[in-house]
Structure formats: C-alpha cells, structure tokens
Amino acid sequence: MTNLVLVRHGETTWHADDRYAGSTDIGLTPRGYEQGELLAGWARTARLDAIWVSPRSRTLETAAPAARTSGLTPRVDDRLRELDFGQAEGRTHVEMERLFPDAMAAFRVNPVAHHLPGGEDPRDAAERAVACFEEIARDYPGGRVLIVTHTTLIRLALCRLIGLPLEVYRSVFPFVRNAALTEIRLDRDRAALLEFNTPIVREESS
C-alpha cells in the first residue's frame, strides 16, 4: 500500500476574484508563498519518499519549500495539471452567466456530462490523474508521497478512487483549501480516504 498526500497549490493572484484557473499559468500571492512555507514545515517531519507536482508555476512554487526541507527533488508530471476550462478560463461566475447562461445552467445540473464549453472532459482528467496515482503507488510501495496539484483534479480523482459518480464532485467536495492536506491510501485496486482538506497549523516557536 502507498499513501498519497494530495495538496492544492497556494493562493494565486486570481483567487480574490474567484476566476477559473486551469491551463493558464498564474503566480502565487504573498499569502500563497506563506502557504508553501507552511507546507514545508509539515514536510520536514512527514517522512516523505517523493514529491510529484503539476507543471504549472503555481504548483511548482508551492512545492519548492517542501522540496527544500525534505531534501527531495520534485518530479513534474503533466498528468497532474488542472483541467483546461475552455471558455471559462480567466472568467468569474458572473461573467460566465452573462456570456453563456444556457451552458452554465446545464453545468450546474451535471458538470461532467455538460462540462464548461470548450473545456477538457472531466472524465478524461479523472483517468489521467488516477493513472498517475497508480504509477506512483507502484513506484513507492509502502511509501508516502506528496502530490501538489489542483482543486478540480483532486475532487475528480477522489470520486473515481472511492467509487462516487464523477458528476457529484462539486457537491460532495465543494471546495479544497489552498495548501490543505488530503491523504489517501492505495492498496492494489482499493482506495481509502484517510484525511480530507485539513489545514496545516503553523508551528509554534519554542
């Protein structure tokens, strides 16, 4: 069995406006860098065997402090990238409701069958994420691996692994905090959710 610790990247410059960030490469805010340092404090004693990361700069920047404190070199894998949200990229919900209201109505009913216009099919994203997770489990049997990735990908992968319909990913897992810890255990064809969306507590100085 292998434990995978899934972490959403730190806060980005689009966070305040709640803009959809998928394939767009955007940077962290000062708070986002602070969250990376919190993750580094956790990683110092987490007994990690590896760090895997999405190729986006927001994930690389979040993972860098943890790599420093753990002494591990992150492995970048394109399968861990966020979905491309198509016409929703860089837009707020208000803007999307104005530009394509019918598509948004259908999306709210079933965000998989009626995913955002021009965007990646969530079913394809779930498959690539789970394939990556399974490869990591094969490479690190009995290990613990940090994976720094993205909110929608995490929620879709969790649904696929624990046997929930993909279309409930937004209702069952309504949000993932920046730099929070979600831990799953993979054991051959079985998955267990050990922890979900747990904030990292800042270490108190002695």
The CATH number covering residue 15 comes to: 3.40.50.1240
* 177 and 10 Cβ atoms separated by less than 8 Å: no
Number of other CB atoms surrounding residue 78 within 10 Å: 10
Q: Is residue 206 part of a domain?
A: no
Provide the pLDDT for residue 31. 97
> pLDDT category, 68, cuts 50, 70, 90?
very high
The per-residue pLDDT for range 70-101, each reduced to its tens digit, is: 999 999 999 999 999 999 999 999 999 999 99
User: What mean pLDDT do residues 36-41 have?
Assistant: 97
Q: Is residue 55 part of a domain?
A: yes
Provide the pLDDT for residue 206. 37
Q: Is residue 155 part of a domain?
A: yes
Q: Is residue 30 part of a domain?
A: yes
Global pTM value: 0.95
Q: Is residue 184 part of a domain?
A: yes
> pLDDT category, 7, cuts 50, 70, 90?
very high
Q: What percent of the chain has pLDDT over 70?
A: 98
Q: Is residue 26 part of a domain?
A: yes
User: What mean pLDDT do residues 32-55 have?
Assistant: 97
The per-residue pLDDT for range 110-145, each reduced to its tens digit, is: 999 999 999 999 999 999 999 999 999 999 999 999
DSSP string, the chain: -EEEEEEEPPPBTTTTTT---SSS--PBPHHHHHHHHHHHHHHHTS--SEEEE-SSHHHHHHHHHHHHHHT-PPEE-GGGSPPP-GGGTT--HHHHHHH-HHHHHHHHH-TTTTPPTTSPPHHHHHHHHHHHHHHHHHHSTT-EEEEEE-HHHHHHHHHHHHT--GGGHHHHS----TT-EEEEEEETTEEEEEEEEEPPPPPPP-
Provide the pLDDT for residue 189. 79
Query: At residue 205, does pLDDT exceed 50?
Result: no
State the total domains in the chain.
1
Which range marks the domain in which residue 192 is found? 2-86+120-198
> pLDDT category, 56, cuts 50, 70, 90?
very high
Provide the pLDDT for residue 203. 59
